Amino acid sequence: MTGPVIVGVDGGPTGPDAVVLGCWLATALGTSLTVTAVHAAPAALGSGRVDAEWVADRHRAATRVLDETRASLVGVACAIDYRTIASSSAAHGLSDLAEQLSAAYIVVGSGRNAPRERLFAGSTAERLMAGSICPIAVAPTGLKAPLGALDRIGVAYVDTPDGRAALTAAAELARHSGAHLRLTTVVAAGDAALPFLLGDDTERAFLDTARETYERSLSRAAADVPDVTAEWEIRPGDPVDTLADLDDVDVLFCGSRGYGPARRVVLGGVSARLSRRARRPLIVVPRSG
C-alpha cells in the first residue's frame, strides 16, 4: 500500500490520540494524512423524512468533528485531506475508503471511554480487524502530545505467515524512519506451557525444545531483514500480558491470527486483547498472501 494514512475521528475523547499517531506515521512514511469522520447513511428501510433528518443531523455532527480536528492540526507539516463519509458503520466506511485510496494504514483510537458526540457506538478497531485490507493502528489513551522520532519498533514475532507479514510491515516503517527493530517471542513459563502435567523432566524438555526452535527462527528472521538493524529476544510469560506491558519500544506490530482469508486482517485472540491493553501504539497487520 502506497497511499495516505487514514485517521478515523468520531468526536469521542480518544480521537486526538488517533490523530497524533496518524500524523506520526504519515510523517515517518513521507505520505499524506486523510482525516475522516464517518456518519450514518440512509437506511435501506426507513421512514423517509425522519430518516433524512437523522442523516442530515449526523452529517452536521461529522462536519463539526472535522472542524475541531482541523483547528488542532494548524501548522502540521504533512499534507492533510478532510472527508466525511456516509456508511452503515465506521468500520465499513473507513475500510471502503482505505481500499479506494490504497491506504498505508488506518488509525483509530482505543475506544475505551464514553463518547461526547460519538458518531458510532462499539469498538471500531475490533470491527476493522475483522475485514481491513491494510494494517490497523490503534492509539492507546494518552497520546495527545506530539510524539518524538521513532527509535525502536517492536514486532511480536512467530514464524508463521502472519508473523512474517508483521515483520515485513515493521521493516518498511523502520527503513523510512531509521528506527531499529526488536523481534519478541513470548514463551509460556513453567506449567503454563502444557494443558496437563506430564512430569517435570518432560515439561523441561518440551520448553527447551520450544526455546531452541524459537531462537533459530528469530535469529534467521532478524538476519534476513534488509537494510534494517534488527535484534531479537525471548520473554517468558503470558503473550498478552507480556506484550501489552512492553515499554521499551515506540510502536508494536503484530500479525492477525493464523488463519482466515488472504489479505484480510482477521481478529485473533492475542491481537484483539492487545488492542485494548497495549501501553504502546499497536499495529495489526493482515497476512500478505
Picking from 153, 138, 143, 136, the residue whose alpha carbon sits closest to that of residue 275 is 138
Its domain, for residue 181, covers 152-285
Please write the tens of the pLDDT for every residue from 20-57.
999 999 988 999 999 999 998 876 665 555 577 888 89
Q: Are residues 11 and 105 in the same domain?
A: yes
What predicted TM-score, i.e. pTM, was given to this entire model? Answer: 0.85
Q: Is residue 144 part of a domain?
A: no
In the chain, the number of structural domains is 2
Clarify whether residues 128 and 170 are in a common domain: no
Q: Are 58 and 40 in contact (CB under 8 A)?
A: yes
Of 28, 26, 21, 18, the closest CA to residue 179 belongs to: 28
Gap between the Cα atoms of 268 and 257, Å rounded: 4
Please state, for a pLDDT cut of 90, what percent of the chain lies above it.
43
Q: φ, ψ for residue 237 (rounded to 5)?
A: 130, -175
The DSSP-derived string for 177-195 is: HT-EEEEEEEE--GGGGSS
Q: What are 22's three cell numbers?
A: 496518524
Q: Are residues 22 and 50 in the same domain?
A: yes
Q: Which residues contact 173 (CB under 8 A, 6 or more apart)?
A: 25, 28, 29, 150, 153, 179, 251
Q: Residues 206-217: what's their mean pLDDT?
A: 81
What are the tens digits of pLDDT across the range 219-256? Answer: 999 999 999 999 999 998 888 889 989 988 999 999 87
Model pLDDT, residue 216: 93
Q: Are residues 200 and 117 in the same domain?
A: no
What is the edge-to-edge ordering of all strands in the sheet holding 230-236?
80-87, 33-40, 5-8, 105-109, 136-139, 282-285, 251-255, 152-156, 180-187, 230-236
The residue among 1 and 155 whose pLDDT is bigger is 155
The CA distance from 271 to 70, in Å, is 31
> Looking at the structure, do residues 125 and 175 belong to the same domain, yes or no?
no
Digit-coded pLDDT (tens) for 5-23: 999 998 888 888 899 999 9
Residue showing cell 504519515 = 26
For residue 282, the cross-strand partners are 138, 252
Examine the fold and report which residue of 109, 139, 169 is the final residue of a domain before the chain moves on: 139
Domain shared by 135 and 156, yes or no: no
Same-domain pairing of 78 and 204? no
Least-confidence region, from 120-134, 139-153, 216-230:
120-134
Mean pLDDT, range 99-121, rounded to an integer: 70
Q: Do residues 97 and 194 both lie within one domain?
A: no
Domain end among 139, 170, 185: 139
Encoded amino acid at 280, one letter: R
- DSSP string of 65-108? HHHHHHHHTTT-SS-EEEEEEEESSHHHHHHHHHHHHT-SEEEE
Q: Please choose, from the candidates 56, 61, 49, the residue with its C-alpha nearest in 3D space to the C-alpha of residue 10.
A: 61
Residues 135, 43 share a domain: yes
Burial code (b: 16+ CB inside 10 Å, e: under 16) for 278-288 equals bebbbbbbbbe
Task: Mark whether 211 and 262 lie in a shared domain.
Answer: yes
Report pLDDT for 114.
37
Q: What is the CB-side half-sphere exposure of residue 38 using CA atoms within 13 A?
A: 19
> What does DSSP assign to residue 279?
S
- What is the CA 184 to chain-centroid distance, rounded? 17
Q: What is the mean pLDDT of the chain?
A: 82
Residues in the chain: 289
